[in-house]
A and B are shown apart, each in its own frame.
Chain A
Amino acid sequence: DAGITQSPRHKVTETGTPVTLRCHQTENHRYMYWYRQDPGHGLRLIHYSYGVKDTDKGEVSDGYSVSRSKTEDFLLTLESATSSQTSVYFCAISDGTSGSLNEQFFGPGTRLTVL
């Protein structure tokens, strides 16, 4: 999976609790992305980062925040988890050497269940 790890791989939590998912890369790629995957919706972008401390919202960012203090780490936080945030979360990276036309490489995913 192209030097990308996600932790934890599985998590069960309760409604209202904060949750942080971690994405770690060893490729030194500039761009990092968080997606969620739900049946019938494909992958939807939550947040992305185009450099250290540079982040922006995707199409489904409500209820989520991110931080990137180092090139290699991109954290996704669910501030107060809800059942609608039960999903599989994927991190992706891209090196951007061809502008924005590079393919993305995906991590193995985190399966999150909010009870």
Chain B
Amino acid sequence: AQSVAQPEDQVNVAEGNPLTVKCTYSVSGNPYLFWYVQYPNRGLQFLLKYITGDNLVKGSYGFEAEFNKSQTSFHLKKPSALVSDSALYFCAVRVTDSWGKLQFGAGTQVVVTP
């Protein structure tokens, strides 16, 4: 079985400061990991994914994520947060041996204050 945990319900950060949203996973076999963002009253939007290769993955809107196999983590980062980054962020892991099924974390609300 696989699972993904987002330990923080909410992250508060001042505009211009670095932003980190945490995600840890548990999966048998190779982990395939994704980050999505949801703005109010919208569907989820894909940010980035880790399949294989470099541990630092770059994605949309200046976000990046660092894959750490020994810590089973896939934290989302942005060097300088914007007020417009305020949204709900989801980490997801592909269900082992499935055709594209994803297991989502509970989500982390990011609030960026001016």
Residues in chain A within 8 A of chain B (CB atoms): 1, 4, 31, 33, 40-45, 48, 50, 58, 90, 92, 94, 96, 100-109
Contact = CB atoms under 8 A, between A and B. Distances in A.
B100 A94 contact: yes
A22 to B, nearest CB: 15
Interface of B: 32, 34, 36, 41-46, 49, 51, 90, 94, 98-102, 104-107
Given A48-B101, A104-B44, 9 more contacts: A31-B100, A33-B101, A42-B90, A42-B107, A48-B99, A100-B98, A100-B99, A104-B100, A108-B43
A109 B99 contact: no
A1 B90 contact: no
Contacts of A107: 43
B42 A105 contact: no
Given A94-B100, A108-B42, A101 B32 contact: yes
Nearest to B32: A101
Nearest to A91: B43
Contacts of A103: 34, 46, 49
A19 B104 CA distance: 26
Contacts of B102: 45, 104
B51 to A, nearest CB: 5
B48 to A, nearest CB: 9
A40 B106 contact: yes
